[in-house]
Amino acid sequence: MTTVGLVKETSIYLFSTSNLSGQITNADTEWKSQILYNVPDMIVDDEDIEYIEYCVNNAQIPVSFYTINDTNNRMSIYYPNTPTTVNYDLDYGNYNTTYYIQQMNLITPVGMVITLNTYNSKFTFTYTQPFTLLGTSSQHKVCGFLGNISAVLSGGSYVLNCPRVCNFLSLPRVIIRCDELSSNQVVGGDNGNNILVCIPNNSRPNGMITYDNTNNQMFLFSKPTLSRFVISFTDDYGNLLNFNGVISYFSLQFNIYRTFKEKVPSFKSILSTVNLETLKRVQETKQNKKIIANTQI
């Protein structure tokens, strides 16, 4: 066979995070953020394949995950007079500053007061005895501090001013990952190469994030086959998201480039061609004989 060029084949596969589309592997299946898919012979080992490109073609992701969740709901406070460390866990949900203060006042000791400076968006904690907000608190980014920070005596009370602004913004982007599909995308200090796409959160809580690969960004598929893979929806740090039972949708596109080869004619086609040529010559001979005979007459 003679190689002529490459032929492009495009396949688009539609998926969702429902248990009808794949197997949800989250410990709590209501999270719907890690799903195992089985697609037999999705990509097969074929010597005619030169290379394969892939991408997340589009996605529709619900903003049903909470601003306060399992990754940022704990405040750890150390009381040196006791001495004890107490963990205060907020219920999961979408918080603003007012609701945060209300809920923290319900779970922290009587006499601890939390206020917000509306001009600089920083919290102040006031209490009747010494205390330290610990840097191990998962709330530190929400509350506005980093590392251990201790209250100082002021006017008969112990006062702690958070050095940073509070942050109740929703997750800025959603990362779709797949270990079976590797790319060269890296997010922050994440050294993994399993990122398929980083999708900006362009919606509000209880809305829908929509994504389309409008710039047609593709990645090379580096494995010979694919039929079983796991898709994960995470934050920048690899934490699985909790979609609270709401389904996401996405599609994967594969562009397969095959070598196009000119086929050698089969024996049957050669024989057919020979027979046609022979028949043509016989017919031409008969026609010539008729012309000669007519001339002689």
Residue range 189-223, pLDDT digits in tens: 555 678 999 999 999 999 999 999 999 999 999 88
pLDDT at 268 over 90: no
pLDDT the model gives residue 214: 93
pLDDT the model gives residue 6: 85
In sequence order, the β-bridge partners of residue 8 are 257
CB atoms within 10 A of CB 117: 13
Residue range 31-51, pLDDT digits in tens: 999 999 999 999 999 888 899
Report yes or no: 69 and 271 within 8 Å, Cβ to Cβ. Answer: no
What is the arithmetic mean of pLDDT over 149-153? 97
What is the arithmetic mean of pLDDT over 10-26? 94
Residue range 271-282, pLDDT digits in tens: 566 555 665 665
Report yes or no: 199 and 185 within 8 Å, Cβ to Cβ. Answer: no
- Mean pLDDT score across all residues of the chain: 88
Q: What percent of the chain has pLDDT over 70?
A: 83
Spatial neighbors of 269 by CB under 8 A, at least 6 apart, are none
CA distance 70 to 241: 9
Closest CA to 233 of 19, 25, 47: 25
Distances (CA, A) of 115 to 94, 123, 169: 19, 6, 19
Report yes or no: 193 and 177 within 8 Å, Cβ to Cβ. Answer: no
Longest Cα–Cα distance of the chain, Å, equals: 142
What is the model's pTM? 0.82
Strands (E), 134-289: 149-150, 152-154, 157-161, 173-177, 195-200, 208-212, 219-220, 226-234, 249-262
Residue range 92-113, pLDDT digits in tens: 999 999 999 999 999 999 999 9
CA distance 95 to 56: 32
Task: Answer whether the bond into residue 109 is a cis peptide, omega within 30°.
Answer: no
**Does residue 269 or residue 85 have the better pLDDT?**
85
